[in-house]
Structure 1
Amino acid sequence: MINRIRILSLSCLLALGLAGTAHAQTFSDSFAGFGSDSDEPIEIEATNLQVRDEDKSAIFSGNVVVIQGDAKLETERLIVFYEGSMANGTADGEPVQQSISRLEAKGNVLISSRDQVATGDDASFDMNEQLVVMTGERVVLSQGPNVIVGNRLVINLETGRANLDSSAPGSNTGRVRMLLQPNSLENEN
């Protein structure tokens, strides 16, 4: 039986996600939503959780699913690096505040929300630098019928700039591929 682990107090857990606006979203919008709305709880489910307070990390493993609002992250293993302590609380009974510095999703990473999906083998999220890096034999981004494929995606969450290349070792083609359907990215007013 899968242990269900719910963490609702880590409102700054992820800086990736897929929440967007009413108009057409870009692929870089796909990583902007998790953790950006402190009113939305974050739910994490996994088979196992191992907290390593001495390493300032928490390791979720086994069919990891993270949900916040419309955004969802699925992976085989999620390592959360934090500042602070995961202990039960301070001497006065108040909960200890943690600050997430980095996340590493390993194995069959899928991020989805509404009509946007990003998949790859691994992803890292640097909260301090506001950078997301997704890698894999095939990194696939899709929004509705539009698809772009490469090997390494780097997104600057602060500027919204995204770079996708296909020069990673093991790349079959060495080229980025894109399928864009006419009129599919028009504003939906």
Structure 2
Amino acid sequence: MLRPLLTALILAAPPAVAQNVTFGGIRADIKAPVEVAADDLSVNQADGSAVFTGNVVIGQGEMRLSADRVRVIYAEGGRNRIRSLDATGNVTLVSGADAAEAQAATYDVESGNVTLTGDVVLTQGQNVLTGDRMEVNLGSGTARVQGRVRSVLQPGGN
């Protein structure tokens, strides 16, 4: 009796592979200056990178990214243009009322895309969405979650 019911529920459920969501009540201004604060900075002249460690907080417009360690990779030909940021350890991305946590993140500053990986948890109010990977476009405020996606949606919420 239980087996036909479980089979029917499994067949009726949508696949939990990927889900598109909105991210951030406000779109982040990807042309705004990138501000970085940390306990320590180490610069490598040979490869043109800088590593910030200890309570790292990156701000750009309304967006905040925090992590234990962030490696800054500069664009070719100049140290004043950041190409990307690689964050590891206790990564949190906040935009508007939305917050996401992950083990690591890469922020492509020029495109405004942030990719979070490893046990991603997205919180939007009381709604929670988890997955293995989340790609956020800060310019459009859209996100895509992939890899064993699970949602907990509160009744009456958006």
TM-score (norm 2): 0.71
Question: Where do 4+ consecutive residues of structure 1 move more than 6 Å?
Answer: none
| Residue aligned with 2:87, SS | strand
Change (3 A) 1:100 1:110: same
- Aligned counterparts of 2:111 and 2:63: Cα–Cα separation in 1: 22
Matched, 1:57 2:52: no
Select 1:100's aligned residue among 51, 74, 82: 82
Contact 1:27 1:141 in 2 (8 A): no
Calculate percent identity across the aligned residue pairs: 38
Match of 2:30 in 1: 36
Matched, 1:80 2:54: no
The number of aligned residues is: 137
| Residue aligned with 1:184, SS | coil
| Paired residue type of 1:77 | R
**What per-residue deviation string (whole Å, max 9, x for no partner) do you get for residues 110-131 of structure 1?**
0123421000000012245553
**Structure 2 residues not aligned, in runs of 5+:** 1-20
Q: Give the number of the structure whose residues are more often helix, by fraction.
A: 2
Cα shift at 1:108: 1.0
Larger radius of gyration: 2
- Aligned counterparts of 1:59 and 1:151: Cα–Cα separation in 2: 25
Match of 1:91 in 2: none
Structure with higher RCO (Cα < 8 A, 6+ apart) = 2
Match of 1:177 in 2: 150
- Aligned counterparts of 2:89 and 2:111: Cα–Cα separation in 1: 23
- Aligned counterparts of 2:58 and 2:69: Cα–Cα separation in 1: 11
Match of 1:151 in 2: 132
**What per-residue deviation string (whole Å, max 9, x for no partner) do you get for residues 119-171 of structure 1?**
000001224555322111x20011111110011112355666533222xxxxx
**Structure 1 residues not aligned, in runs of 5+:** 1-25, 87-97, 167-174
Matched, 1:122 2:104: yes
TM-score (norm 1): 0.61
Cα shift at 1:78: 0.6
Q: Give the number of the structure whose residues are more often strand, by fraction.
A: 2
- Aligned counterparts of 2:120 and 2:54: Cα–Cα separation in 1: 22
Contact 1:27 1:143 in 2 (8 A): no
- Aligned counterparts of 2:135 and 2:43: Cα–Cα separation in 1: 28
- Aligned counterparts of 2:84 and 2:35: Cα–Cα separation in 1: 18
Contact 1:111 1:119 in 2 (8 A): yes
Select 1:140's aligned residue among 110, 117, 121: 121
